[in-house]
A and B are shown apart, each in its own frame.
Chain A
C-alpha cells in the first residue's frame, strides 16, 4: 500500500455514550468516518445495537488533548504526599459518632 492511500484513510472519531439519564457519557471506542454526521450514524449502528445508550457524543480524535502519564511522575511513586486531602487523615473521637 502506498503512503498516498494511507493518507486517504477516513479520519478517526472517538465515541462516548450515556447509557441512561443520570449517568456520565462514557468512552466506548472509536471509528473512522468522513465527517461528524457519518461518525454519528455509524456510532449509532455499531455501538447502540441493543439500546446501550440514550445519548451519543462523537469527537474527532485529533481534537482531543491528552495528558502524558509520565508528566505526573506517577510511574515510580504514587502522588500521595497530600494525605490531608483524605478523610482518614483526621482523628475524630468515637463518641462523636459517624462523620
Chain B
C-alpha cells in the first residue's frame, strides 16, 4: 500500500535472522516490514517480469481479435485479453509496494532492461494457436501461479490468488477451441496438430532452466519466494497435459515421451536450450515487434494521460475558486 522503507539498514544481521525466522514460521512479509535488500531486489525483478509478461502476452492474442471465426469467439478472446491486462495491473500494483514506480518499470520494459516470458516472442499463425495458447501457455502459467499463491510476500501472494481465480476460464476456453478443431474437418485437425507442434516445447520452456542450472533457485526457496522448483512444476504440467492431448487425439511432438509406471509420471525428451537462450537474448521471431508495439502503445497514450491530468488540475482549481467565492 505504501512504500516507506524501514529506518534499519537493509543488511542488519540481527534483523536478517529475525526476518528468516518469520519466513520459516510462515508469517507473510508486508510492504512496510523490514526486509533484506536482496529479498526486495529479487521480488522486484520477478514480479515486474511477471507483470510485463501479462501485458506483452496480450499482443499475440490481439493478432486474432479481428480474425476470430465467430462473434462468440471474438467476445471470449476479448474478455481473456482484458483479463490479462488486469493481471498486469494487479502485479504492477503489488510491485509498486516495494518502492519502484510504475514509470520505472515501464522504462525497464521498453528499453529491454527487463525481460518478459519468452513464449510471447513466438508468432500466432493460425486460429488453432488461440486454442493452444489458452490450453498450454495459460496452463503452464497456472501451474506456476498456483505455487506462487503461497509466496512469502503478502501482496504478491494475494495478487496470485486473484489471478488464479480468473485463469481457469482462460485454459478451458483454449481447450474447447482445440476440441472443436480436433473433432472438425481434416484441415482443422491438421491446424490443431500444427499448433501443438509449435507451442509444446516453448510452453515447457516457460518454467525456466533446469534446477541444476537455475542460479537463483536456492535463495528464492529459502526466502519462500518460490515454493516449488522449475523441474518439479514442469513435470507436474507434463503429467497433467499429456492425457489432455491424448483425449484430443493429438500427438505430443516428443518421441521420447513415455509413461513411467514406477514413477507414476511421464518420461520425456530434452528442451532445446539453445533455442531458449536465443529467444531470451532477443533473437526470437517477434522480440522486436512486441517491444515496438509496447513502446508505441505507451507513447501513443501519452497525450491521453497528459490531458487527463490537465483536466483534473483544472477541475481542482474550479472547485477551489467556487469554495472561495
Contact in complex: A66, B89 (CB < 8 Å) = no
Cβ-defined contact, B89 with A46, below 8 A: yes
Decide if A66 touches B1 in the complex (CB within 8 Å). yes
How long is the Cα–Cα vector from A33 to B304 in the complex, in angstroms? Answer: 11
Cα A5 to Cα B106 with chains together (Å): 12
Q: Is A76 an interface residue (CB 8 A)?
A: yes
Measured CB to CB, the nearest residue on chain A to B14 is A76
Number of interface residues of B (CB under 8 A): 37
Does any Cβ of A come within 8 Å of B277's Cβ?
Answer: no
A70 vs B98: C-alpha distance when bound (angstroms): 17
User: Do residues A34 and B86 form an inter-chain contact, with CB atoms below 8 A?
Assistant: no
Residues from chain B with a CB closer than 8 A to the CB of A96 are: none
Known: A5-B103, A12-B96, A70-B8. A29 touches B83 (CB 8 A): no
Q: Which residue of A lies closest to B88 (CB)?
A: A46
Q: Is the CB of B305 within 8 A of A14?
A: no
Residues of A within 8 A of B257 (CB): none
Q: With a CB–CB cut-off of 8 A, which chain A residues contact B107?
A: 1
State whether A10 touches B162 (Cβ < 8 A): no
Contact indicator A49/B2 (Cβ below 8 Å): no
A34 near B312 with CB under 8 A, answer: yes
Q: B32: CB under 8 A from chain A?
A: yes
Instruction: Tell me the residues in window 64-123 of chain B with beta carbons closer than 8 Å to chain A beta carbons.
Output: 82-83, 85-86, 89-90, 93-94, 96, 101-104, 107
Q: Which residues of A contact B89 (CB under 8 A)?
A: 29, 31, 46
CB-nearest residue of chain B to A50? B166
Whether A64 lies near B102 (C-beta < 8 A) is no
Contact status A8-B93, CB under 8 Å: no
User: Which of B4, B90, B308 is within 8 Å of A29, CB to CB?
Assistant: B90
- The smallest C-beta distance from A8 to any residue of chain B, in angstroms, reads 7
Q: How far is the CA of A27 from the CA of B90 in the complex (A)?
A: 12
The residue in chain B whose Cβ has the minimal distance to the Cβ of A5 is B103
State the CA gap A34–B303 with chains docked (Å): 13
- The DSSP consensus for interface residues of chain B is helix
**Within residues 13 to 45 of chain A, which ones have a CB less than 8 A from any CB in chain B?**
14, 27-35, 38
B32 CB → nearest A CB, Å = 5
| Residue numbers in A under 8 Å from B308 (CB-CB) | 10, 33-35, 38
| Bound CA–CA A47/B86 (angstroms) | 8
Contact of B86 with A8 in the complex, beta carbons under 8 Å? no
Take A8-B306, A28-B162, A32-B102 as given contacts and tell me if A70 and B6 are in contact as well, using a CB distance cutoff of 8 Å: yes
Chain B residues contacting A55 (CB-CB under 8 Å) are: none
Q: Which residues of B contact A34 (CB under 8 A)?
A: 305, 308-309, 311-312
Report yes or no: A68 in contact with B86, Cβ–Cβ below 8 A: no
**At the interface, yes or no: A6 with Cβ under 8 Å from chain B?**
yes
- Docked CA distance A35–B305 (Å): 11
Question: Could you say which of A6, A8, A61, A69 contacts B33, with CB atoms under 8 Å apart?
Answer: A69
Contacts of A8 in B (CB 8 A): 305-306, 309
Residues of A within 8 A of B312 (CB): 34-35, 38
Per the 8 Å Cβ criterion, residues 3-51 of B in contact with A are 4, 6-8, 15, 18, 30, 32-34
A10–B309 CA distance with the chains assembled, in angstroms: 7
Q: How far is the CA of A6 from the CA of B93 in the complex (A)?
A: 16
Q: Give the docked Cα–Cα distance between A12 and B102 (Å).
A: 10
Q: Smallest distance from the beta carbon of B35 to chain A beta carbons, Å?
A: 11
A64 contacts B18, CB within 8 Å? no
* B159 contacts A by Cβ under 8 Å: yes
**B315 on the A face (CB < 8 A):** yes
Query: Given the complex, which residues of A lie within 8 Å of B30, measured CB to CB?
Result: 69
Assembled-state Cα–Cα distance A75/B306 (Å): 43
**A-chain residues with CB within 8 Å of residue B306 when the two chains form the complex:** 8
Would you list the 3 A-B pairs with minimal beta carbon distance, nearest first?
A34-B308, A35-B312, A34-B312
Give residues in A with beta carbon < 8 Å to B. 1, 5-6, 8-10, 12, 14, 27-35, 38, 46-47, 49-50, 61, 64, 66-70, 75-76
Query: Can you list 27 residue pairs at the A/B interface with Cβ under 8 Å?
Result: A1-B107, A8-B305, A8-B306, A9-B101, A12-B96, A28-B162, A29-B93, A29-B94, A30-B96, A34-B305, A34-B311, A34-B312, A35-B308, A38-B308, A46-B86, A47-B86, A49-B83, A49-B86, A64-B1, A66-B2, A67-B32, A68-B6, A68-B32, A69-B6, A69-B33, A70-B7, A75-B18
